[in-house]
Amino acid sequence: MYILFTIKSSNENWFERDLVMSTLHFLAAYSLTWISYTGPVLESVDTPLGVPPTKAQMNFVTSVMLLGSIVSSLVTGQLPELLGRKKTELIAGLICALAWALIVTAKSINQMLAARFLMGFGCGIHFVVIMIYINEISQSFIRGTMASIPLFSFSIGCLVSYITGWVCSYEVIGYLNLSTCVLFVVLVNFLKESPVYLISKKQDKEALAALQFYRGASKATVAVLEEFEHLKKQREITSKSTQRGIIVLTTHIVLSCFMGSSAVQAYAGHFFLAAAPDISPHLCSVILAVAIVAGNAIAVLGTDLFGRRVLMISSCAVCTICLAVLVTLLRWSWAPDWAVPLVMLLYPCAFQAGVQNVPMVQLSECFMPNVKGIASSIVITCNGLSCFVLLSVFGVLVELLGLDGTFLLFCTISALTTVLAFFTVKETKGIPLEEIQAMYERGYFYWQ
């Protein structure tokens, strides 16, 4: 049920880290999109919930997963430091497994709401810990690629969810997801704890063994020993560089939410149907998911090839152009009907390639181990809250400004984000953590 990305090299064991990166992001995407095609089943006369839920209850079923993610991001920021990265991932996997067990056995709306909240809670824990885990077990030359894979897996989850929702029954989908959760919990036990966490707990012998495991070395080679000593000597972070890093990344992520990606995706199906009335709604969802997967594929391939800065700025610029063209199309209808769906495919592709990806990659590489948990918690919570606010006010904005006016607002925010990215996004490709910290120590702007 999940996509396992395997990149082999002579000196690193990639299989296990790719498993950790992929599975829960895949499940999070699957769970988010699941409600879009199971809603009619739940609201039907033959609903598995006994009594068809009201419209308000269905809206809450849709949004409560996001609420669970926000709550867990707020309250579990220090969990990776207290229990370790591996145990935190195990807890997240167990909660997700419990959530899907409740979903497949749900006979009431209250049980379904509890299950969706738990799913969001488990995913929120995973979102906090995964970027920490990635950075601590990756070498600098491949760090960006590895940090991009979870987002790529998220897009694959959307695609697979829409396809299976098209061809599989409600019950089959539930048990497939439950099986994937259980498989993840079993397989994550074969991983090693992060060597950085073990060093922080004065467990040097175990830390060296973990580093050997993640480098695919049967013994402590010279390269492994040198890296181990480097990890031990990482200096404590200063509050100034921490604050600046959090401010910059949070600003980028919040602005990216208000560039309207969720709204574009929400309206894409409507414009697809207008351009091609005979097309299946399921096929519309699959086409959109393919565009998102393509954008994330560009991110995986380009993050370490082109660097973070180029990818972020170019992605923001393309998004601004797409939104500007979309506004003119909605306002004056100067092109054929297929032009709007085409722009709505190009936009999420460009958005995923850089705007969505780069801040998350840099979240994994810009903070020292002792503050990664709290930094991730702050940034991811702000991301969740921003998405929640956007989805809450989008309908009101459309009523007040019209669809073209709303997307003009998104276009303006996108242009602002492009300018801000030019001035503040620092290039972190292949740069050691100490140098990244020094850049933030000197100031907010990229040239400092």
Domain-wise residue ranges, the chain: 1-191, 196-233, 236-448
Find the largest Cα–Cα distance for the chain. 68
Q: Measured between alpha carbons, how far is residue 400 from residues 261, 388, 406 in Å?
A: 19, 19, 8
Q: What pLDDT is stored for residue 16 in this prediction?
A: 59
| Same fold across 1-191 and 236-448 | yes
H or E segment to which residue 138 belongs: none
Q: What pLDDT is stored for residue 325 in this prediction?
A: 96
Q: What pLDDT is stored for residue 232 in this prediction?
A: 67
For domain 1-191, give its CATH number from 2.40.30.10, 3.40.50.740, 1.20.1250.20, 1.10.240.10: 1.20.1250.20
Using alpha carbons, select from 31, 25, 19 the residue that is nearest to residue 185. 19
Query: Is CATH 1.20.1250.20 what the domain over 236-448 is classified as, yes or no?
Result: yes
pTM value is 0.87
List the chain pLDDT tens, one digit each, 448 residues.
433 333 444 344 555 566 677 799 999 999 988 988 898 899 999 999 999 998 888 888 888 998 999 899 888 878 888 899 999 999 999 999 999 999 999 999 999 999 999 999 999 999 988 888 888 888 777 888 888 888 889 999 999 999 999 999 999 999 999 999 999 999 888 888 988 888 888 888 888 888 888 877 767 776 777 777 777 666 444 567 888 999 999 999 999 999 988 777 766 666 777 666 777 778 888 888 999 999 999 999 999 889 999 999 999 999 999 999 999 998 998 988 888 888 988 999 999 999 999 999 999 888 887 788 888 888 988 988 888 888 778 888 888 998 899 999 999 999 999 999 999 999 999 888 888 888 998 888 888 7
220: left (phi over 0), alpha (psi -120 to 50) or beta: beta
Q: What pLDDT is stored for residue 176 in this prediction?
A: 96
Using alpha carbons, select from 437, 122, 131, 416 the residue that is nearest to residue 259. 416
Burial 58-67 (b: 16+ CB within 10 A, else e): bebbebbbbb
